[in-house]
């Protein structure tokens, strides 16, 4: 694959929750969630993996800084768009890679592909850096339930809702709306989430494959995102709904961070 070598600055988003719900709905977690995933991962790397990752970045970069790069390049490189999700039908219980990942263009295949690039220390440094950038982001995407499900509604983008009294769509609520209700940012959000992860959870979450983790996200889409969607047209997502969904969102971010560290430790600690 060709490297996307152009660097993009990371914009500071100052929009309100309501504004976020209406824009860029296809981008999982938003910068806050992706940054939290990367920060949790960074604190769970081996010393060797930390050093190797640092060697691929510039002196002022961290995993958190690069965590939204894959979204930044989508405008100029729309061919990367399908890499952020896998459309597993809501009624399916397994993944059909030929149907749902044609040509390897889905998040499951790309995570595996970029992990392999990272493992190859004889590969071009620019290619390995790019692989790191994509892998950090895609592990976050994989754990957003609406990036692993297909209900013929573009991952919830076509599902109109009323969120905290304002019109929006279901995908954007799960991307940014719910997590922003936590009102924690940067290190504070990551620290708050990581402090409650137990050693038993860390061990359990590392089990399985990328496909297993995709199916886990898919099951949450079935049982929680759609299964607990209030009745109504459009559904009214109140603060009670947001508070009941927040633990699900937070645990998915926690899992993504621990699993990202697990993959990076495997790829960079050789």
Give me the tens of pLDDT residue by residue for the chain, a chain 270 residues long.
444 444 333 333 323 333 334 334 456 788 999 999 999 999 999 999 999 999 999 999 999 999 999 999 999 999 999 999 999 999 999 999 999 999 999 999 999 999 999 999 999 999 999 999 999 999 999 999 999 999 999 999 999 999 999 999 999 999 989 988 877 777 888 999 999 999 999 999 999 999 999 999 999 999 999 999 999 999 999 999 999 999 999 999 999 999 999 999 999 987
b/e sequence 222-260, b meaning 16+ C-beta within 10 Å:
bebbbeeeeeeeebebeeebbeebeebbbbbbbbbbbbb
- Looking at the domain assignment, is residue 100 inside a domain? yes
- Looking at the domain assignment, is residue 264 inside a domain? no
Own/partner contacts of 7-13, CB < 8 Å, gap of 24 or more, are 8/69, 8/72, 8/73, 10/65, 10/68, 10/69, 10/72
- Looking at the domain assignment, is residue 124 inside a domain? yes
Q: Which domain holds residue 167?
A: 17-245
Residue where the block lists tokens 């019109």:
167
Domain count, the chain: 1
d(CA 17, CA 3): 34
- Looking at the domain assignment, is residue 9 inside a domain? no
Strands 160-163 and 236-237: parallel
Q: Which helix (H) or strand (E) holds 71?
A: helix 69-72
d(CA 147, CA 88): 9
- Looking at the domain assignment, is residue 77 inside a domain? yes
CATH number, domain containing residue 120: 1.10.575.10
- Looking at the domain assignment, is residue 266 inside a domain? no
- Looking at the domain assignment, is residue 72 inside a domain? yes
- Looking at the domain assignment, is residue 1 inside a domain? no
Q: Which helix (H) or strand (E) holds 255?
A: helix 239-268
Q: Which of 49, 74, 75, 32 is nearest to 188 (CA)?
A: 32
d(CA 74, CA 153): 21
Q: Which of 263, 255, 261, 18 is nearest to 145 (CA)?
A: 255
């Amino acid at each position: 694959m060709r490297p996307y070598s152009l660097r993009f600055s990371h914009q500071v988003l100052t929009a309100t929750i309501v504004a976020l719900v209406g824009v860029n709905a296809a981008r999982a977690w938003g910068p806050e969630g992706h940054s939290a995933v990367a920060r949790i991962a960074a604190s769970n790397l081996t010393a060797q993996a930390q050093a190797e990752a640092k060697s691929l970045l510039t002196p002022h970069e961290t995993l958190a800084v690069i965590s939204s790069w894959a979204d930044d390049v989508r405008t100029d490189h729309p061919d990367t768009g399908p890499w952020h999700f896998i459309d597993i039908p809501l009624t399916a219980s397994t993944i059909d890679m030929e149907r749902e990942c044609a040509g390897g263009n889905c998040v499951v295949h790309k995570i595996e592909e970029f992990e392999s690039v990272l493992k190859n220390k004889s590969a071009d440094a620019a290619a390995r850096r790019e692989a790191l950038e994509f892998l950090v982001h895609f592990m976050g995407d994989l754990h957003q339930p609406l990036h692993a499900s297909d209900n013929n509604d573009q991952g919830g983008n076509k599902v109109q809702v009323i969120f905290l009294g304002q019109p929006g769509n279901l995908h954007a609520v799960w991307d940014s709306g719910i997590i922003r209700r936590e009102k924690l940012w940067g290190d504070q959000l990551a620290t708050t989430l990581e402090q409650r992860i137990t050693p038993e959870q860390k061990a359990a979450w590392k089990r399985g494959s990328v496909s297993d983790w995709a199916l886990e996200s898919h099951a949450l889409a079935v049982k929680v995102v759609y299964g607990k969607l209030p009745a109504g047209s459009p559904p009214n997502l109140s603060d009670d709904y947001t508070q009941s969904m927040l633990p699900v969102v937070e645990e998915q971010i926690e899992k993504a961070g621990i699993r990202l560290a697990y993959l990076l430790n495997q790829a960079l600690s050789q």
